Every structure is written in structure tokens, then in C-alpha cells.
Chain A
Amino acid sequence: MRKLTVLCVDADDDERAATRESLLTDDDVAVTTADSVATAADALDGAAVDCVVTAYDFPDGTGLDVAERVRETTPDTPCILFTDASPDRIDTAGREDVVVEYLPRDTPDARAALVRMVGNLVEQRTQVGYPLPTREDERLAALEQYDRPGMEAADAFDRLTALARGHFGVDVAFVGVIDAHEERFLACTGAAWETLSREDSMCTHTILEDDLMIVEDTHEDGRFADNDRLDELDIRAYAGVPLETPRGATIGAFCLTHDEPRSFTDDELADLRRFADEAMDQLELRRQLNECEDEREATQREATEGDDSGGDGS
């Protein structure tokens, strides 16, 4: 298993050291530390963090300020408020939306409970701000098979999205894959998007659909009405068809967006499905090509190794 990195934030040197020690009892955990909201923010900007454990009181703010920073940088990362501050003393004003776990330090065996909680929150992806597909782990494993160097560089997707944008007369057409925490755009005509966090991405919802997802007006849909990021990107209408692998895993979507509300006719949706099928076929061909290449390389390597051991060195 990959090592988890936990950021432990506490202004009290002894407490911080003790928490760090307990977290390190799990061999799969690495710990970085910070002693203030500001240094925690620096740590978050630096390396990837899988979980944040923070005290409440800091000279320059509170543990909820740390959580706010997490939601701004890597929103999926779970945060645990590990504190002796009682709920009554915790001021949530301005921080009503961050949502954290809370573990009081006077819990019996609090630090052992903390270690378990870190593992559970990371494994179960408990603090993500979007619905999770039922078999998310299988879905991510399937994506890995398609996700190879060069996938983004494929001209075929650029051509497809350029054709789609002209055909439908929309602002933007794109092909995106949804990984564990982000949507990555393999091709995007009409905008220069590269990635979008999953909680802001409409495709995160599309991959739950069997057929497709249409949102004629984002402001009229409870899932997106308060998503400011969509307004920043001028997304007001959306149509997306899931990209489903031959084995039934949904790894991304072929999508159209427009800067004002609009509807899509049945003929348009039928065409959009064709574009999605074409994109999925491209991805599948590339996967098979990669597989063949891997096999050929493996065979060659074996042959070379065979020569080496069998040769007499002359």
C-alpha cells in the first residue's frame, strides 16, 4: 500500500510530538507537522496530504481556519479536529461549510482512536463533497488501465471536440476523465481547462448516470445552483455522456457546455452519444495498443535475458 501522509497541526510542542508518535505507530503513515494556521497553509501548498489532524487553538486562528484552507486547496482531504475544546467553545462563524470530524482528547485512548479514524476517513473517502459511485475502487482501477502517458496528447480527441463544438454550436466541447480527486481534460475546444476538482465538476454526477446527464440551466438545479466555480467558467448549460469501458466501468464523459441556458433535441443527444462512443473506442484502441506493446517489450526482455544467460561470452 502507498504510504499516507498526515499533516499534524498543533501549537503545543509536546502534544504535537505525542500525536505524531501515535500516528507513526502505523507503518503506512508518514507525518508532517505544523504549529500554526500559516505554517499549515504552507505545508498544504507544498506536498500532497492525505489527511489533516488539527488542534483548535492557534495564535493566528483556529483549527477550522486550517480546515478552510484544506477545502480551498485539496477539498477531498479529510480533516479531524483533535482538541480538548468542547463543541460549545468552537466558533463555526464563517466556517459553516467546511465540515470536519471531531475527536475530543478526553476520549478514552484518544490517540489510538485517532489512528483508526485517520485510516477510516481516508479509505472510505468520508469527506468528499459529491456523490460517490457504488463501485468507485473498481472504477479507478479500470481508469488506470487507460490512463497512460500520451493519453492527453492524442490529436484524435482534439479533432473530435472541435467537430462537436461546431456541430452543436456550443461554447465548449470536451473529453474528461474522472480520477480519484479531479477531472482531467484530455481535450477541450473552446476553453483552456486542464483540471477541475471533483466537487466542482458536473461530470462527477454524469458518471453516476446510465445514459447521460442534461442540465439545461445550472442555476435551476439544486446540485449546481450554488457552485460558483461553474459561473467562473461560464457554464450555464451542460450535456454529458458517460464514457463506459467494454467491461462496464465509467471512466469519464464526453461533454458540451454553453454560457447561457439551452436545451438539447433528441437528434442532438443521439449525435452526442455517437461522439462519446467514438471517444471511448479511441481510448479502448489505445489501451489495447499499450497492452500489446507491454507484451512485446516483456517478450523481448525475456529473449534478451535468455541470450545473456545462454551465451558463452565470445
Chain B
Amino acid sequence: MSVQEPTYTFDGLPLAGVEPGTNILVTGPALGGIRELTMRMLLRRHSREGTLFIAADVDGRETLSDYEALGGDLDFARVGVVDCTENGTDDDGHNVHAVGSPADLTGAGIEFSSLYERIHQNGAGQVRTGVYTLSPFVVYAPAKSVFRFVHTLTGRIRTADGLGVCAIDPAAVDDQTLSSIAQAFDGKVELREVDGQRAVRVRGLSDQPDDWQPIDFDTA
């Protein structure tokens, strides 16, 4: 077999690149750097990549400013947000599309499909999709609908050769629900903090480093 460059790479993170169509579940405590990790995994590597956020914990505007603070390039033809927070508002100038509630999975799915299609049409052959986080959906919507929603997201990402990075705080959902949701993903990136040192470990994805890898985020 020929050695091919993986399509989606993660500069500055102890993670090897992954193939198109990969969906990754990122788990870790909310205050332990999971937001930075998720955001960094969503940084566009070149102008023909797009990034789409599904924001449920923090609103669209804050999502974009945090992304920019980490070096994310805000090209609004190819970067956009589906804002699922309770008080989210549409902001055409910043490509933010409000759904109104994390309980409205139908609305979130429709805005996601629509935005994905537009980012694609605007010349982004590859799109990174980030969900931050899945927890509000799990809390506010019926379990069956959450499975349906997660399958719809990961299915579209797989078919469109995209990258999916979905964060969830294990403390916010029960273990059984978490392991059932994990079923829809190709692999998992776990983040932990022990004695002030953060580390990540990859499960279920091939050609990744074994065991815990230390990780440091620059304090912005």
C-alpha cells in the first residue's frame, strides 16, 4: 500500500493525522482544557479547509472569538456556527445561525446540513466540524433523538469526507449513555489532568501514539 498523507492533521498536538471521514469523540472535564483541545483540533490548515461549529455550551460569538484567539482564521465564507444555546441570535455577518435551544435537534440538524452545504460550495473541499459540547443535547433532548442526531452528524461527515470532533464532559452524562454515544464514533481522544499535567490518549484510531501523551496549552 502506498503511504498517503493523512488529510486532517493536528499541528502542535500529540495526535497523528486522520483520514477523511473520521469522527472523533473528545472526552474530558469541562475545566481541564477540553475546550482548547477541541478548538485546536478544528484549526484550518489551509484556505481550502472549512470549519463548522455546533455550539451548545457557549454562544456563537464567543465560540468565534475563542477560535480566533487560538489562531483560527475567520474567513466567514468557510467558517460558521450553528448556535444552539438558549439565547443565541442570528448574525449573518459572522455566519452564525441560531437554533434557539439545545432541545431542538431537528432545527440543529437542518442548520448544520444547510451550513455544511454552503461552506462546501464556497470552495472548502474539506470541512472540520466541531461540537462543543454534546452534553446539553443529552441533558435537554430525549435519548432516542440524541442518537438520531449524532448518527445524522457523523453520517454526513463520513459521507462528505469531513472531520468530526465532538466534545463531551463525562461528568455531565451517565457512563452508559456515554458509551452508547461513543459507539457512533471511529475513536476517542481522552484528556486528563494529573498533578497539574494535562495529557491525552487516543483510543480506537489506527497509527496513533500509544498511552498518555503530555500536552501543554499556551496560556493566552
Contacts and interface: CB of A to CB of B under 8 A. Distances in A.
17 contacts: A75-B144, A87-B107, A87-B111, A92-B110, A99-B106, A101-B156, A102-B114, A103-B117, A107-B121, A125-B151, A126-B152, A126-B155, A128-B151, A129-B144, A205-B180, A222-B143, A223-B180
A104 B151 CA distance: 20
B142 interface: yes
A50 to B, nearest CB: 16
Interface residues of A, number: 44
Interface of A: 64, 67, 75, 81, 86-88, 90, 92, 95-104, 107-108, 120-121, 124-134, 199, 205, 208, 221-227
A96 B141 CA distance: 9
B61 to A, nearest CB: 19
Given A129-B144, A208-B180, A95 B106 contact: yes
Given A97-B142, A99-B148, 8 more contacts: A87-B111, A87-B114, A90-B107, A97-B141, A98-B145, A199-B147, A208-B183, A227-B144
B216 interface: no
Contacts of B109: 99-102
Nearest to A119: B159
A227 B177 CA distance: 14
B188 interface: no
Contact of A129 (B113, B145, B155): B145
B145 A97 contact: yes
B151 A127 contact: yes
A98 B109 CA distance: 10
Given A87-B114, A126-B152, A199 B144 contact: yes
A94 to B, nearest CB: 10
Contacts of B76: none
Q: Which of B97, B114, B151 has the most CB of A within 10 A?
A: B151
A120 B156 CA distance: 9
Nearest to A127: B148
B195 to A, nearest CB: 31
Contact of B106 (A92, A108, A132): A92
B114 A129 contact: no
A96 B144 CA distance: 12
A126 B105 CA distance: 15
A245 to B, nearest CB: 21
A101 B143 contact: no
B113 A222 contact: no
A124 B106 contact: no
B110 A129 contact: no
Contacts of B40: none
B104 A99 contact: no
